[in-house]
């Protein structure tokens, strides 16, 4: 996802859309703070990337944490809690978890 945001920012910068490019680069940085500018990025794109870096400086990287339930009754479906951390740009809109039959079988093994 971070790579896709970086590619999107590069395309936007090449079209002269530096504001949109800075937003895309910021999204990439929120997903992966080690994201670097594309190697052949031209001056307007580098300026957009620098703007995104300044915006995200000191901000935490996006993260999700599973908080296990304190108690689970045998045979009951557990209620899972997922905490979103570091969502500076409001990228997460209601996380959903799905447990497949394969994953359930592996967890029982």
Give the number of other Cβ atoms within 10 Å of residue 106's Cβ. 9
| Residues 34 and 73 both lie in one domain | no
Spatial distance between the Cα atoms of 63 and 74, rounded to a whole number of angstroms: 30
Name the percent of the chain lying above pLDDT 70.
86
pLDDT at 17 over 90: yes
User: Within this chain, do residues 37 and 79 fall inside the same structural domain, yes or no?
Assistant: no
Mean pLDDT of all residues in 14-31: 93
Q: Is the pLDDT of residue 39 over 60?
A: yes
What does pTM read for this prediction? 0.71
Do 51 and 6 fall into the same domain? Answer: yes
Domain edge (last residue) among 35, 56, 77? 56
* Structural domain containing residue 102: 63-108
Q: What is the largest CA-CA distance in the chain?
A: 61
Summarised one tens digit per residue, pLDDT across range 68-106 is 777 888 888 777 778 888 888 878 777 666 666 665 566
Do 56 and 33 touch, CB atoms closer than 8 A? yes
Residues 33, 17 within the same domain:
yes
Q: What is the mean pLDDT of residues 37-43?
A: 87
Spatial distance between the Cα atoms of 34 and 1, rounded to a whole number of angstroms: 13
Share of the chain above pLDDT 90, in %: 38
Residues 46 and 13 in one domain: yes
* Angle of the 2-14 helix axis to the 18-31 helix axis, nearest 10: 170
């Amino acid at each position: 996802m971070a790579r896709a945001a970086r590619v999107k920012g590069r395309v936007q910068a090449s079209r002269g859309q530096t504001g949109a490019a800075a937003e895309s680069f910021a999204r990439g940085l929120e997903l992966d703070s080690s994201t670097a500018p594309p190697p052949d990025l031209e001056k307007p794109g580098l300026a957009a990337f620098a703007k995104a870096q300044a915006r995200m400086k000191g901000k935490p990287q996006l993260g999700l944490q599973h908080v296990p339930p304190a108690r689970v009754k045998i045979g009951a479906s557990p209620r899972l809690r997922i905490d979103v951390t570091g969502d500076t740009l409001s990228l997460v809109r209601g996380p959903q978890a799905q447990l497949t039959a394969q994953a359930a079988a592996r967890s029982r093994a």
